[in-house]
Chain A
């Protein structure tokens, strides 16, 4: 990998993929790269995108001073900005935010995400996760979401998740009449992935130095790739400068 961190790469890839119609993005966990992605977007193509960060709602276009990355998302020093994030009210306006960022223990070839844990098959838990947080609701309603996986191996990229916390499968989503657009991208340390017309995960691009064989080896299902895989366009000097000047993606991934 070039002269940038995995976190910076994630931030740049997310920022580039945001859409003109996106006007609000919620960073629901303390993901510094997601926060950095929105701040970078504010300073480039998306000056109107509001960032729901911790307890405040902000827009960092035009030079608003971003707060430092605090150890915890719900830090009282983030009670600043243009508005405040009230937990219960997030769900009173199901059409917003437009964009959400999702992590998980597992993602599968249909784009489903598991954050619950691994059941023991007998009504109990082999591995218990923290809980589903708001993943089910946000992934159902928001315009689009990004799945960011800090690890890429056959245990995290699986044929079928043990439990579904966020339903990504576009066939199922259409059948159930979900309002939201579903997963836009899956990003891992090896590459960026999206979904074909049948809803199967496929390679969009592989990061510098990653071969198709290597990513297939690390994936627990047959990973589709149309022709030769594209190489992820690395962060440009301009993107890195903006990130490092004010968006602070320095904290480690995961």
Chain B
């Protein structure tokens, strides 16, 4: 990459491999998106190809993102309130098996605890107080949640510890080359995931001109530094604001995940390891399939 001219803004657009290169074994990685929508799946597949170990994955409402990383052997701990694929897989199969076998640890949080813990990290606080979870089994199954009596009104509350992330992987529909990110959907929990992270990598469908961003500044997400990776249709098999989820693919994955062994290895080979890059992944899925998913 040549040095920018004096006075010129720097592009933060990188190719996928370069963007993910700084992530190391044992990193704490936050992944955005919610249930079957807006997960940065191209980044996740790229991360799975890195052959990393002992990652802690913070995936508030995860599914196939967690599955692929667990199947790749990259995961030590999952911090989550849900790992499933709705009616296709009430519990994500590889996650379930790994947790039941003790191969992967899980730190259970309520969905609101995820927000509270990420906010604590973003605000550089040790914890955030929360009431939901008081009187439940949360502190028993996740001892990091600490029951305490609040010093103002003496009410029983839970301290949700800060969820500090080394890196956040997030999806948005568009960004410009300077990292002005605009979401066409709702953004889910992604802004607070980004705010809790030392580094933010945003996967987008389109990299647009700065003038386009300036037309609707209220839609720009945040003024945080980030790296932008262009990966059109890169939420597949999950949805974006412009594309529905691929139910058939998710069902096919779930079958492979439940079977494990060779069938799971075949899925991982075909969709994660064999494609040389994201375009090759899309080629393997096929233009008819991708076109058919557009809203």
Binding site for B on A (CB under 8 A): 29-30, 55, 70-77, 79, 84-88, 90-91, 94, 116, 119, 124-141, 163-167, 172-173, 176-179
Q: Which residue of A lies closest to B247 (CB)?
A: A71
Complex: how many Å from CA A167 to CA B156?
A: 14
Inter-chain contacts of B241 with A (CB < 8 A) = 76, 79
Q: Give the distance to chain B from A27, nearest Cβ to Cβ, in Å.
A: 13
Of the listed stretches B82-90, B225-233, B283-291, chain A binds B82-90
A72-B36, A72-B239, A131-B81 given as contacts; is B137 within 8 A of A163 (CB)?
yes
Of the listed stretches B163-171, B187-195, B213-221, chain A binds B187-195
Q: Give the distance to chain A from B24, nearest Cβ to Cβ, in Å.
A: 27
Q: Give the distance to chain A from B236, nearest Cβ to Cβ, in Å.
A: 13
Q: Give the distance to chain B from A179, nearest Cβ to Cβ, in Å.
A: 8
Complex: how many Å from CA A30 to CA B247?
A: 14
Q: Which residue of B lies closest to A140 (CB)?
A: B132
Cβ A76 vs Cβ B141 within 8 A: no
Inter-chain contacts of A166 with B (CB < 8 A) = 136
Cβ B156 vs Cβ A87 within 8 A: no
Against A, the Cβ 8 Å flags (1 = close, 0 = not) of B129-140 are 011111111101
A116-B137, A125-B100 given as contacts; is B188 within 8 A of A88 (CB)?
yes
Q: Is B112 an interface residue (CB 8 A)?
A: yes
Tell me which of B34, B83, B137, B189 contacts A165 (CB under 8 A). B137
Cβ A116 vs Cβ B108 within 8 A: yes
Of the listed stretches B69-77, B91-99, B264-272, chain A binds B91-99
Q: Is B172 an interface residue (CB 8 A)?
A: no
Inter-chain contacts of B4 with A (CB < 8 A) = none
Cβ A164 vs Cβ B135 within 8 A: yes
Inter-chain contacts of A179 with B (CB < 8 A) = 131
Inter-chain contacts of B186 with A (CB < 8 A) = 55, 79, 84-87
Q: Give the distance to chain B from A160, nearest Cβ to Cβ, in Å.
A: 12
Inter-chain contacts of B80 with A (CB < 8 A) = 131
Complex: how many Å from CA A238 to CA B95?
A: 46
Complex: how many Å from CA A133 to CA B88?
A: 17
List, sorted by A's number, 29 A–B pairs whose CB atoms are closer than 8 Å: A55-B185, A76-B295, A77-B244, A84-B186, A87-B115, A90-B112, A116-B137, A124-B100, A125-B100, A128-B99, A128-B100, A130-B82, A130-B91, A132-B110, A132-B138, A134-B110, A134-B111, A134-B132, A136-B138, A137-B130, A139-B132, A140-B132, A141-B131, A164-B135, A164-B136, A177-B155, A178-B134, A178-B135, A179-B131
A71-B245, A91-B115, A166-B136 given as contacts; is B87 within 8 A of A136 (CB)?
no
Cβ A136 vs Cβ B61 within 8 A: no
Q: Give the distance to chain B from A184, nearest Cβ to Cβ, in Å.
A: 18
Q: Which residue of B lies closest to A126 (CB)?
A: B100
Binding site for A on B (CB under 8 A): 34-37, 60-61, 80-84, 86-88, 90-92, 95-96, 99-100, 102, 106, 108-113, 115-116, 130-138, 140-141, 155-156, 185-189, 191-192, 239-245, 247, 295
A interface secondary structure, majority: loop
Cβ A130 vs Cβ B92 within 8 A: yes
Cβ A163 vs Cβ B140 within 8 A: yes
Cβ B136 vs Cβ A167 within 8 A: yes
Cβ B185 vs Cβ A79 within 8 A: yes
Q: Give the distance to chain B from A75, nearest Cβ to Cβ, in Å.
A: 6
Q: Which residue of B lies closest to A167 (CB)?
A: B135
Inter-chain contacts of A86 with B (CB < 8 A) = 186-188
Inter-chain contacts of A127 with B (CB < 8 A) = 100
Tell me which of B86, B95, B110 contacts A135 (CB under 8 A). B110
Cβ B83 vs Cβ A131 within 8 A: yes
A87-B61, A125-B100, A133-B81 given as contacts; is B134 within 8 A of A76 (CB)?
no
Cβ A140 vs Cβ B100 within 8 A: no
Complex: how many Å from CA A140 to CA B37?
A: 27
A74-B34, A88-B191 given as contacts; is B136 within 8 A of A136 (CB)?
yes
Complex: how many Å from CA A225 to CA B131?
A: 34
Q: Which residue of B lies closest to A120 (CB)?
A: B100
Of listed B37, B83, B96, residue having the most chain A CB within 10 A = B37
Cβ B111 vs Cβ A176 within 8 A: no
Cβ A87 vs Cβ B134 within 8 A: no
- 20 extra interface residue pairs, beta carbon distance < 8 Å, beyond A87-B188, A128-B96, A133-B61: A30-B86, A55-B37, A71-B86, A72-B35, A75-B244, A87-B111, A88-B189, A88-B191, A124-B102, A126-B100, A128-B95, A128-B99, A128-B106, A133-B111, A136-B110, A136-B112, A137-B132, A164-B137, A167-B136, A173-B135
